[in-house]
Amino acid sequence: MASIPIIDTHTHLADPVFDQDRQEVLDRARQAGVSHVFLVSETLEEAMQNLELSRANAMLKSLAGLYPTYLDMDEADRMIQFIRSHRDELIGIGEVGLDFWKVKEEQDRIVQRKIFEQFISLSLELDLPLNIHSRSAGRHVIQLLVDKGAKRVHLHAFDGKASTAKVAIEAGYYFSIPPSIVRSNQKKKLVKQMPLSCLMLETDSPVLSPEPDERNEPANILLALEAMADLKGVDFNIVGRAAYENTVKLYGPLA
C-alpha cells in the first residue's frame, strides 16, 4: 500500500454494472489505499445518482457534466442549470469535452464545440475544475481551453501525443492516467515525457481496465501507479505523493 492516500479522479460508479456490489468495490478500493473516488456524469440522470451516492458516502465526490457525444443544446442548458443549483455539492464539471472519434460531421462538431465552450465559461464563472474527455481531438480541446482562458483543467485518459500536450502542461493543466497504461504504448510514452508535476491518477471504472473487456474498479488504480513509477524510474510513493498533491492543488482539499 502507498504511504499516502490515493485519489481516483475519474470514475462512473453510478453505472448499473456496479449495482450488485458497489459497497464491496469501495471496500476493496479502501483496502488498496484509495481515500476518495470522483464520480463524473454523462447525463443528467447520472449526475443526480452521483449526488445521491456522494451524500451517502464521504469517500465519494460528485461532478456533473454532459458527455461530449450528446449534441443537444437544450440538454446542455439543463445540465448547466443543474450544476449552478448544486454548485456547493459538486467538486467539478465533467465529463465534458470533444470527441472527434465518434462525432465526424462538421456541423455536429460545431454543436459539440459550442456546448464545450459553455462548460468552459461555467467553470470560470463558478470556479470549478473541468474534468475533460478528449478523443481524437487533443489539439482542438487544448486550443479551445487556452483561447477561452480556462484555469482549472484536468484532461482524463488523454489519447494524444506528448508534443500536443506540451501547451497544456505549460498552461498549468493536469493529466490523469488510467490502469490501461499497462497495455497502452501511447500512455507509456505520454508518462515518460510528462513531468510529475502535472500527473494524477484515475481508473475510468468500469472501462479502461488493465485487461481489455474486464470490468475496471478503483482498486486497480495501484496498477497505474506502479506502471508510472516504473516508467519514471522512481519509488511508488514519489509518484503517489505527486499525484495526490496535484489533485488537491487542482480540486482543493477534500473532506
CB of 13 to Zn ion, least distance (A): 11
CB of 204 to Zn ion, least distance (A): 5
Cis status of the peptide bond prior to 206, with omega within 30 of 0: yes
Residue 208 CB burial class (10 angstroms; 0-12, 13-18, ≥19): buried
Where do contacts with Zn ion occur on this chain (CB under 5 A)?
A: 204
Residue among 2, 3, 19, 1 at smallest CA distance from 206? 19
Q: Which is nearer to Zn ion, 134 or 164 (CB)?
A: 134
User: Is 90 exposed, middle or buried (CB count within 10 Å of its CB: 0-12, 13-18, 19+)?
Assistant: buried
Residue nearest Zn ion (C-beta atom): 204
Q: Collect all residues with Cβ–Cβ distance below 8 Å to 164 and sequence separation of at least 6.
A: 138, 139, 142
Indicate the residue among 69 and 143 with the shorter CB distance to Zn ion. 69
Shortest reach from residue 170's CB to Zn ion, in Å: 25
Q: Looking at beta carbons only, is 83 or 95 nearer to Zn ion?
A: 95
CB neighbour list of residue 47: distance below 8 Å, 6 or more residues apart: 41, 62, 64, 65, 79, 82
Q: Least distance from C-beta 157 to Zn ion, angstroms?
A: 7
Decide whether 122 or 202 has the Cβ nearer to Zn ion.
202
Could you tell me the smallest distance in angstroms from the CB atom of residue 48 to Zn ion? 17
- Closer residue to Zn ion in complex, CB, 156/229: 156
